[in-house]
Chains A and B, each alone.
Chain A
């Protein structure tokens, strides 16, 4: 047995009382480009409770990665600029912290895993070394204890032969194994919140299933999981945020988002994907005409206006704000909001 207590959050106990562990408010990010200012993230706000799995979905370029990276203050500036917003982890606002305090909180309270594990690792250090180095600083452990913890973490995320694997370099691991090792590294500091930016997108589907199974077992860990894959989201999330051109257009519990989507974009997106169960091949897929607006010249009204099948005149001129629609969802759509009032 290890002498260090390894994260109880990776156990199987039930979620704690619903305490907010992360509050992101009014996050605004822009990119300064030759063509002008690209408004990549436009006032994103969300709260994550202890043990909760929140998914952020949306198509390529809608601002998912920018949201996560800006919240951790990992976006390179220039070209990006985080114009405003607060990111409170357990009551501490990351936006106001100095470099040292920021570094401490990352990894210890909040950490992130990426799609490409290879780029998250240093190629010339062994996997075990990289996991233990980080945790040694955070938790003031001896070298030996940190190494033991690293091996223990690898075992916990299902890496076979963790002793051996700890001595290997990142490129010597298979894709699935590397992804597990990255998760081990992210969780070694016992964070309360894990950000995950499409960590299974590059994997084969049977390997993705293993990783999702692992992640589902982290009952007490709060996760913000970014994905464009609605299937993955359906199997993982408690709550879902739908983003479109940098805006949150809908938010709600996963069942409600999938079974009664209120925003026209969410609804169309759900009907645009083929599925493998008994519904397979039975329905004509809905295709959404056109493409998202240019972030350098966002329209004055609703960003989905051009492609929307139910738009009304007002949508062209007034930008809809996120409002409660029904009991559990919030939606940024004039038509959905009007329908709700009428019913």
Chain B
């Protein structure tokens, strides 16, 4: 599809880690055969619990970690596999906004200098127009022009995050990857940054990848959502499908676990509780990585790795990696677990 800005196919990123006691090295499949795409002007949310591979996915797109396998295409450019390949192209077309606005801004530079740097490096505007451009960038993120003369520490966390966003905007990128951009911010300030990102995205037709473990923030921001678990993209689906057409047991359980700020909703909702914690990524379960916590896991789940496949009509843009995706989408995980059709098998007890 020509409207896709970013296409990621079968992406894997592995890390070698030492397991402590011996010198033996183990491999962590931080990202394992993940495929997704981001359309022009679209926001893709990546959500999942700690360590599931969200940040690594973002780094891989930026060429900051080495790919084990997989292809990444931006527009019609295929990105090289090596570390740091295509740096110039990437830093012009793709920008990142990080969690901690304090450490990602150089404390010794004024905000004006911070924003001028990318303009100069990429020669975006001629030198005499740069000061004016800095002012425009600040206004874009709702900061007074006079901020250019001040230093990062003179601003609050939310303001610093807006400066980080202005810096990302400076090179006029096509895609911005935001990795937990509001995690360090207080509740009342979080909304400023979320609103700003949404507005910029609409006004400028930007593509966004919004990475967060905060399911509510992701569902608020994203047109489509990729749910990750232990390095796998267990499901990719349009936001509209999240509430009642999700097809992966983990997606349904995750959504059910997110508290809703409404006591009446909370009182009456059906909850799907998963057992235990996420298993160690060093020693992931065989077959489906989710099976040790899945309420409907069957024998086949321990044997066959479910592939990420299209469910429903191709155009709906939903992919899922579960052997029983059709049943899950149709019946809902809570009902299935209670029925005899997909009653819990004994497999998972032994994991």
Contacts and interface: CB of A to CB of B under 8 A. Distances in A.
Contacts of A278: 243
Contacts of B220: 274-275, 280-281, 285
Interface stretch (B106-114, B128-136, B261-269, B324-332): B261-269
Contact of B260 (A207, A210, A231, A272): A231
B264 A59 contact: no
A228 interface: yes
Interface string A46-60: 000000000000011
Interface in A134-161: 160
B191 interface: yes
B195 interface: yes
Interface stretch (B173-181, B211-219, B313-321, B339-347): B211-219
Interface in B25-51: 49-50
Interface stretch (B5-13, B92-100, B117-125, B249-257): B249-257
B69 interface: no
Interface residues of A, number: 47
Interface string B289-306: 000010000000000000
Contacts, number: 141
Given A174-B277, A255-B263, A274-B194, A205 B186 contact: no
Contacts of A280: 216, 219-220, 239, 242-243
B276 interface: yes
A281 B239 contact: yes
A235 B274 CA distance: 18
A205 B254 CA distance: 7
A259 B266 CA distance: 13
A212 B257 CA distance: 10
Interface string B278-297: 10000000000000010000
Given A276-B260, A277-B265, A291-B156, A206 B49 contact: yes
Contact of A273 (B195, B261, B263, B266): B261
B317 to A, nearest CB: 17
A207 B51 CA distance: 14
A275 to B, nearest CB: 5
B307 to A, nearest CB: 24
A276 B186 contact: no
A213 B266 contact: no
Interface in B213-244: 213, 215-217, 219-221, 239, 242-243
Interface string A259-282: 100000000111011111110110
B99 to A, nearest CB: 15
A82 to B, nearest CB: 26
A305 to B, nearest CB: 15
A205 B273 contact: no
Interface in A173-219: 174-177, 204-210, 212-213
Interface of B: 49-50, 156, 158, 186-192, 194-195, 213, 215-217, 219-221, 239, 242-243, 253-267, 271, 273-278, 293
10 contacts: A177-B277, A204-B50, A206-B274, A231-B258, A234-B259, A273-B261, A274-B220, A276-B215, A276-B242, A281-B220
Closest 7 CB pairs between A and B?
Answer: A231-B259, A274-B220, A209-B257, A235-B266, A285-B191, A204-B49, A288-B188
